[in-house]
Amino acid sequence: MSESKTQQGIDRRSFLRSTAAVGAGLAFAPRMFAAASGGEKDINVALLGAGAEGQILMEACRKIPNVKFKAVCDIWEVYNQKRVSRLLDRYGHKNNSYVDYKEMLDKEKGNIDAVIIATPDFWHAEHAIACMEAGLDVYCEKEMSNDLAKARQMVESQKKTGKLLQIGHQRRSNPRYLHCYNKLLKEAKILGRITTINGQWNRGVQEPLAWPKNAVIDDATLAKFGFASMDQFRNWRWYKKLGGGPIVDLGSHQIDIYAWFLDALPKGVIASGGTDYYDKKTHEWYDTVMTIFDFETKEGVVRGYYQVLTTNSSQGYYETFLGDQGSLVISESAARGSVYREQSAQVEWDKWVKLGFVTEPKKEEKKADATTAALDVRETLAPPAYELAVSMPAGTPYHQPHLENFFNAMRGKEKLNCPAEVGYETAVMVLKVNEAVEAQRRLEFKPEEFKV
């Protein structure tokens, strides 16, 4: 492998991720971290998986008071593990480092209160279950697992142990998404009857991740932890035994929002996809997927279209909810977020502007809307754009509110925004997409499929 390609792989840190099911969670009694005498006791955590995603979560945690890292565990000892451990030391988090999570749980017994899991998807179930059985609360990155049976075992273990298990669908704690759900959809019903959803995550071509020649994991360690080679270790998301492909890796964040905003689970799904661009020897999962869910809501059927592209980044990632009174375009990216009023809307939009739910459209937009003639009798004039009145504070990492929710739940202050049973529902939805691509026909969901 060339030196330039190696360096290119090491610098690649951009699997975009980033947060809020109101009332979706179990009520937990105040726990050992409840505030006392005006101060809060530190929550001691371990980071299990110190790669790109683990580092993002670690940096977000550093912005949260009274959270201390005591241990770092990663099998890439000479790169991820030692580097992150030394970095935490410099930040004042004195920690121990490990290769094997079992050794960490044994030696850190009584020293840690929670574990943040950011390992490859196929390890999530074993890691989360072991941590909960060791008496620890768990924040686990999504997807719960690339195997639905193992995801089910995670829910069962959570119920058995009574420990917290937060799944990393961080949009469920994002203030913008919470505002849209609580104020725009539930209180104002500003979109009217939602009929359609469109969403996408388009990402440009990416070369396989590489590694430094002097930082190779030995074959015995790779095999012990489920990898056939360094290529599999670095690019596990593309291998069927290790990850779930782009629809799981990227799409589950947004498909999760479909179900949450509709307060409904899908009845069926059709999908088309394939490995159309990359080499199937290195990209076992589909590089392009287009899918349609049908949801049966109290107001009628809603069809939700979603696509993942890994060959072109046009328009990035967002979700659009379309109703007979208006439409909502929202993204985790702060640069995108607007509400559009249909010309025939009966909803009192001025009222919601005064209440601060949305902001007033620009005057030139309103003028153009009132005076511009249609060029064709079939044409509908572009509606005015109202901006979202709530956004994430500048500089706040996307994951921070979701992690704060997790730690506040540990302290008995909040309910989890994405507990295990909610994360499981999303796993059911996205893993079924891969099945639908293979089956080349519509697959139906049975209500019992979403329950554990």
Q: Which residues contact 86 (CB under 8 A, 6 or more apart)?
A: none
Q: How many CB atoms lie within 10 A of CB 84?
A: 23
Mean of the per-residue pLDDT values for the chain? 89
Model confidence at 33, in pLDDT bands (50, 70, 90)?
very low
State the number of CA atoms in the 13 A half-sphere of 137 facing the CB: 23
* Residues 289 and 273: beta-carbon distance below 8 Å: yes
- At residue 175, the 3 state secondary structure works out as helix
Q: What is the mean pLDDT of residues 320-329?
A: 97
pLDDT of residue 238: 97
Phi, psi at 365, each rounded to 5°? -70, -45
| Contact criterion met (CB below 8 Å) for 20 and 417 | yes
pLDDT tens readout for residues 168-183: 999 999 999 999 999 9
pLDDT at 3 over 80: no
What local confidence, expressed as pLDDT, does residue 348 receive? 84
C-alpha dist (Å) from residue 366 to 38, 306, 344, 346, 386: 51, 31, 15, 17, 11
Q: What is the pLDDT of residue 40?
A: 87
Q: What is the mean pLDDT of residues 319-335?
A: 95
Confidence of residue 361 (pLDDT cuts 50, 70, 90): confident
Asked if 393 contacts 55 with a C-beta cutoff of 8 angstroms, the reply is: no
For residue 448, pLDDT beyond 80: yes
pLDDT of 36 strictly over 50 = no
From the CA atom positions of the chain, what is the Rg in Å? 23
Is residue 336 predicted with pLDDT exceeding 70? yes
pLDDT beyond 60 at 25: no
**Domain spans, the chain:** 14-173+398-419, 176-393+429-450
pLDDT digit string (tens) for 407-418?
Answer: 999 999 999 999
Phi and psi, residue 50, nearest 5°:
-110, 30
What CA–CA distance (Å, rounded) separates 125 from 154?
6
Q: Are 432 and 292 in contact (CB under 8 A)?
A: no
Q: What is the pLDDT of residue 406?
A: 98
Is the Cα torsion angle 251, 252, 257, 263 positive or negative in sign? positive
Mean pLDDT, range 351-376, rounded to an integer: 71
- Please indicate whether residue 347 or residue 431 has the higher confidence score (pLDDT): 431
Whether the Cβ atoms of residue 5 and residue 209 lie closer than 8 Å to each other: no
- Residue 427's closest CA among 393, 391, 452, 398? 452
Residue 37 banded pLDDT, cuts 50, 70, 90: very low
Average of per-residue pLDDT across 267-281: 97
The encoded tokens of residue 415 equal 């309910």
The pLDDT assigned to 31 comes to: 39
Distance CA 232, CA 218 (A): 13
Strands (DSSP E) found in 259-336: 266-274, 288-297, 300-309, 317-323, 326-330
Per residue in 203-260, pLDDT tens?
Answer: 999 999 999 999 999 999 999 999 999 999 999 999 999 999 999 999 999 999 999 9
The pLDDT score that the predictor gives to residue 23 is 31
pLDDT at 8 over 50: no
| pLDDT of 284 over the 90 cut | yes
Helix axes 148-161, 124-133, angle to 10 degrees: 10
Enumerate residues 6+ apart whose C-beta is below 8 A from 26.
415, 416, 419
User: Which residues neighbour 224 within 8 Å (Cβ) at sequence distance 6 or greater?
Assistant: none
Q: For residue 377, what pLDDT is reported?
A: 64
The answer to whether 43 touches 67, Cβ cutoff 8 Å, is yes
Token pair of 204 as six digits: 């440009």
What local confidence, expressed as pLDDT, does residue 374 receive?
A: 57
Q: What's the distance, Cα to Cα, between the start and end of the chain in Å?
A: 46
Q: How far is CA 244 from CA 114, 263, 279, 285, 449, in A?
A: 26, 25, 17, 7, 19
The CATH class for the domain spanning 14-173+398-419 reads: alpha beta
Out of 21-30, 131-140, 163-172, 316-325, pick the least confident.
21-30
pLDDT score of 21 more than 60: no
pLDDT category at 375 given cuts 50, 70, 90 is: low
Structure tokens at 129: 């279950």
Residue 363: its pLDDT value, please? 66
Residue 384 has pLDDT above 90, yes or no: no
Domain 176-393+429-450, CATH number (from 3.30.360.10, 3.40.47.10, 3.40.50.300, 3.40.50.2300):
3.30.360.10
Q: Which two tokens stand for residue 279?
A: 């080499």
The CA distance from 136 to 114, in Å, is 5
Cα–Cα distance between 334 and 174 in angstroms, integer? 11
H-only helix segments in 12-146: 52-61, 82-90, 101-107, 124-133
pLDDT value for 15: 28
CA distance 296 to 298: 7
- When pLDDT is averaged across residues 91-103 and rounded to a whole number, the result is 98
Mean pLDDT of 134-152: 98
